Amino acid sequence: MSGYRTRFGSEVVADMPELLLLQQSGLAAVADGRLRLTEWGLERSDVVGPWLYSEKARERIEAYEWR
């Protein structure tokens, strides 16, 4: 998480408060300075991933035409 601070000049949980919610719910934990999904979080990663998409990414996904 210090790598994020170095690169972007802010705290990751300030920019993405959803990550704090993942920690509080037991879906993620900080170890060795990195935020990682717990086993429980990995089991739910197909829901967690899209939950973290930016608005722009969601718009692009919705606009994509499946063939």
- What domain count does the chain have? 1
pLDDT at residue number 2: 78
- pTM of the predicted structure, to 2 decimals: 0.75
Residue 66 has pLDDT above 90, yes or no: no
User: Which amino acid type is present at position 18?
Assistant: E
Mean pLDDT for 50-58 is: 92
Q: Domain range for residue 25?
A: 2-63
Residue 45 has pLDDT above 80, yes or no: yes
Q: What tens digit of pLDDT does each residue of 6-44 get?
A: 999 999 889 999 999 999 999 999 999 899 999 999 999
Q: DSSP letter string over 17-60?
A: THHHHHHHTTSEEEETTEEEE-HHHHHTHHHHHHHT--HHHHHH
